[in-house]
Amino acid sequence: MVDVTALQSAEPVIGRLVVVGLGLIGGSFAKGLRESGLCREVVGVDLDPQSRKLAVELGVVDRCEEDLAAACQGADVIQLAVPILAMEKLLGRLAAMDLGQAILTDVGSAKGNVVRAAAEAFGGMPPRFVPGHPIAGSEQSGVEASNSELFRRHKVILTPLDQTEPAALSVVDRLWRELGADVEHMQVERHDEVLAATSHLPHLLAFGLVDSLAKRNENLEIFRYAAGGFRDFTRIAGSDPVMWHDIFLANREAVLRTLDTFRSDLDALRDAVDAGDGHQLLGVFTRARVAREHFSKILARRAYVDAMNSNDLIFLAQPGGRLSGRIRVPGDKSISHRSIMLGSLAEGVTEVEGFLEGEDALATLQAFRDMGVVIEGPHHGRVTIHGVGLHGLKPAPGPIYLGNSGTSMRLLSGLLAAQDFDSTLTGDASLSKRPMNRVANPLREMGAVIETAAEGRPPMIIRGGNKLKGLTYTMPMASAQVKSCLLLAGLYAEGKTTVTEPAPTRDHTERMLRGFGYPVSIDGATASVESGNKLTATHIEVPGDISSSAFFLVAASIAEGSELVLEHVGINPTRTGVIDILRLMGADITLENQREVGGEPVADLRVRAAKLKGIEIPEELVPLAIDEFPVLFVAAACAQGRTVLTGAEELRVKESDRIQVMADGLLALGVKCEPTPDGIIIDGGQIGGGEVHGHGDHRIAMAFSVASLRASAPIRIHDCANVATSFPNFLALCAQVGIRVAQEAES
Ligand code: S3P
């Protein structure tokens, strides 16, 4: 009898478990549950006497029965682990028995055929039948290979139907979890589609390729030279032929669908080889390579991460330290985004150097790959973009996922509003909370058709095929993202698009458009573009990101005895607010070796420790230092006296509410501060140790790492994974210059 209410207890909760079919999967299931103590008795059934004998000897089951009816008498759960084509006959026999209240489940690799066979045998799908599929196995087979750990950290997919009893589902769910499996529920059809693509098709290709090569007369010659590629690709051709023959017959429809799609993709590759179309080949190969890297990461994380802590990457920062040395921070994020966008829209091949290989800029890169642009790299900051021209983008195959990156979403929305295809833009939890009406509304005025979720949040659905009209727009907020979005839309809009900003914001879009030979007129606070021109490929050298440098500017300022040089930092006047504010606070920062690189001013920044004092931050500097406030608040906490920030309400709609989140963290560290609607008041003094939260916001995590230099005890910073969005080697550079922050060892 199954005691569903006792499902959480350590006592046996199942009387009798019957496993029909003692192969690798059935045997491992039986053995694992027998060892768990969850079942009072585990009974095996198998046609083969040798398997039955071994199963008892090896402790896989308590006892075995030859006769199915005898075994199933009084069973609580019956697991069907026979080859998939034997399932129909087995179900027919079970249907003729009185199974009482027994729960049925199975392990078949295809689900549609099992469900059909069960419905036929029982005259309708039994409500106590829970179809299942463990995605696990090994080259070994037979009961002697039974391994109670086989399913640990492997996925098991259950495919309940509408009529499946929830209680039966939760029993089967519990059994698999007891074996350490990661259980997911899915619809039958979806399961069969997914498995056809990810498992069945690759097996078909592997068997097919080996056979095709082996048939040839010169096969011995060929195989003598078959090295890594052949070995890697065909490993799975060593799998059990009978089992696979069963699977293809069982999952025929889904396999045919995925095979047909693949066949037409293969034909396209054949045509490209035939036509000598290297561009097409490079496109397929570069896309495949990143996709493969992406999947590997997903798989690797799955292998090491326990669901409980998967999102909480913790930085542990030790108090004290002094900075010295010369470093180069990674490339500018804003410029990196724009290099991909404009390089893609240009005619010809654009080479980029110093590209930021952070997740945000990579999201933009991937978006353009998805829209058919061939992009090589990034490799050590080098990217080669084969531009498609202003009208060469193709629809992405699905929604474009932009992760944490507001810049990607806002700038892309302008560009996509003018295409002749529909696009959907989505993002992570943080991006999904950020306001998009600031771009959607003026774009609608230009004639764009855009849908958003409630209150203008992502996802954004951007309809194609709308002719845009030029707009004269005065922005209600100082936002380079809004300005850039509208200028990009303006490249396609009829007539002239003019954007006026209430205060100066970063002008990388305007500079880079000109760098690509596209005319932009600038008149004070107003920038305009007209459609009808083109972008011509160019060479871009991305300077170091002043926003990333800011952490070290503050760190070296507050840590006594420090002297540090930051090389090759972009010092575009629309970005240097952080230097101005720190200097007003008394910081010792000098600019050396000033030069211009590809239309952007660059310098080496030398910073020495200094006694900082609190100030009232001039409001006109706010947009020029908009991303640097989290770490400037740390400077203020170390300064003598009071620092007051006003006119910075924009900080509340960044990757987190940076006013509130920083105030919470500073208060937790014993710093006196008070958030206000548009800023904060901070009284400098002693920083203590403690626990703070990054809230998925890269700049918060890095700011509190810097705070440790003046803390009296360690600071533990939760939720730091997103540091990789803008500064993937932050911890390494910290270690190099003397900030003692590291990822907390996984327990
Ligand atoms: C950016 C502009 C800024 C900035 C963001 C990058 C850009 O946002 O905060 O990190 O690349 O244009 P707003 O323009 O919305 O202030």
**Ligand 1 mean position, distance from CA 352 (Å):** 21
Span(s) in the chain for CATH 1.10.3660.10: 193-276
Q: For 260-276, write each residue's pLDDT tens digit.
A: 999 999 999 999 999 99
**What is the C-alpha to C-alpha distance for residues 407 and 508, in angstroms, rounded to an integer?**
12
Of 347, 354, 352, the closest CA to residue 373 belongs to 347
Task: Taking residues 391-419, report their average pLDDT.
Answer: 96
Is the distance from CB of 110 to CB of 251 less than 8 angstroms?
yes
- Domain 315-327+544-746 listed as CATH 3.65.10.10: yes
pTM of structure: 0.81
pLDDT band at 12 (very low <50, low <70, confident <90, very high): confident
Q: Candidates 626, 698, 699, 700: which one to mutate for ligand 1, based on the most atoms within 8 Å of Cβ?
A: 626
Rounded-to-integer distance, Cα 745 and Cα 740, Å: 14
What pLDDT is attached to residue 139? 65
CATH architecture of 333-541: Alpha-beta prism (3.65)
Ligand 1 atom nearest the C-alpha of 333 is 11
The CATH fold of domain 193-276: 6-phosphogluconate dehydrogenase C-terminal fold (1.10.3660)
Question: Residue 2 pLDDT > 80, yes or no?
Answer: no
pLDDT for position 309: 38
* Rounded Cα distance, 94 and 332, in Å: 67
Question: Distance from CA of residue 489 to its chain's centroid?
Answer: 28
Active site residues: 627
Residue range(s) in the chain whose domain bears CATH number 3.40.50.720:
4-186
Sequence-ordered list of residues with C-beta below 8 angstroms from that of 708, at least 6 positions apart, any chain: 317, 318, 319, 320, 321, 714, 715, 739, 740, 741
Using the mean position of ligand 1's atoms as its centre, give its distance from the Cα of residue 698 in Å: 14
CA–centroid distance, 434 to ligand 1, in Å, is: 13
CB 52 within 8 A of CB 46: yes
Task: Give start and end residues of each alpha helix (H) in 276-418.
Answer: 278-304, 333-345, 359-370, 406-416
Residue from 408, 479, 509 whose mutation best tests the ligand 1 pocket (most atoms within 8 A of CB): 479
Residue minimizing CA distance to atom 4 of ligand 1? 627
Task: Please identify, by atom number, the ligand 1 atom nearest to the C-alpha of residue 483.
Answer: 14
CA of 484 to the centre of ligand 1 (A): 10
The correct CATH number of 4-186 out of 3.10.520.10, 3.40.190.10, 3.40.50.1580, 3.40.50.720 is: 3.40.50.720
Q: Using the predicted structure, report yes or no on whether residue 299 has a pLDDT greater than 70.
A: no
Can you give the pLDDT at residue 302?
38
Distance 334 CA to ligand 1 centre (A): 7
CB-CB neighbours of 234 under 10 Å: 17
Q: How far is the CA of 714 from the centre of ligand 1 (A)?
A: 32
- What is the helix (H) or strand (E) element at residue 48, kind and residue range? none
The Å distance, Cα 66 to ligand 1 centre, comes to 71
Closest CA relative to residue 422, chosen from 441, 403, 450, 444: 450
Start-to-end Cα distance in the chain: 39
Counting Cβ atoms within 10 Å, is residue 273 exposed (0-12), middle (13-18) or buried (19+)? exposed
* Number of other CB atoms surrounding residue 67 within 10 Å: 9
pLDDT above 70 covers a percentage of the chain that reads 96
Query: Where in the chain are all domains bearing CATH 3.65.10.10?
Result: 315-327+544-746, 333-541
Name the pLDDT band for 225 (thresholds 50, 70, 90): confident
Lowest mean pLDDT among 222-231, 276-285, 430-439, 712-721: 222-231
pLDDT for residue 230 is more than 70: yes
CA 94 to chain centre: 45
Q: Which residues line ligand 1 (CB under 6 A)?
A: 334, 407, 479-481, 484, 505-506, 626-627, 650
- Average pLDDT score over residue span 28-43: 96
Q: Contact, 360 vs 348, CB < 8 A?
A: no
Residue 727 near residue 548, CB atoms below 8 Å: yes
Choosing from 627, 628, 650, 698 the residue with most ligand 1 atoms within 8 A of its CB, the one to mutate for a pocket test is 627
Q: What is the pLDDT of residues 574-620, one digit of tens each?
A: 999 999 999 999 999 999 999 998 889 999 999 999 999 999 999 99
Say if CB 106 and CB 26 are below 8 A apart: no
Which of 107-111, 297-301, 520-524 is the least confident region?
297-301
Ligand 1 mutation target, pool 334, 410, 512, 578, most atoms within 8 A of CB:
334
pLDDT digits (tens, 9 = 90+) for 305-326: 333 335 689 999 999 999 999 9
As given in the structure block, the two tokens for residue 141 are 């087979």
Looking at residue 690, its pLDDT comes to 97
Q: How far is the CA of 404 from the centre of ligand 1 (A)?
A: 13
Dist. CA 86 → ligand 1 center (Å): 61
In whole angstroms, what is the distance from residue 549 CA to residue 80 CA? Answer: 61
Query: 338-353, pLDDT tens digit by residue?
Result: 999 999 999 999 999 9
* Mean pLDDT estimate for the chain: 94
Look at residues 484, 471, 474 and name the one whose alpha carbon lies nearest to residue 445: 471
> Collapsing DSSP states into helix, strand and coil, what is residue 713?
coil
Which residues sit opposite 512 in a β-bridge? Answer: none
What are the pLDDT digits (tens) for 424-472? Answer: 999 999 999 999 999 999 999 999 999 999 999 999 999 999 999 999 9
DSSP state of 524: T
Q: Which amino acid is at 608?
A: R
Residue 221, pLDDT score: 75
Atom of ligand 1 nearest to the CA of 623: 16
Amino acid at 361: A
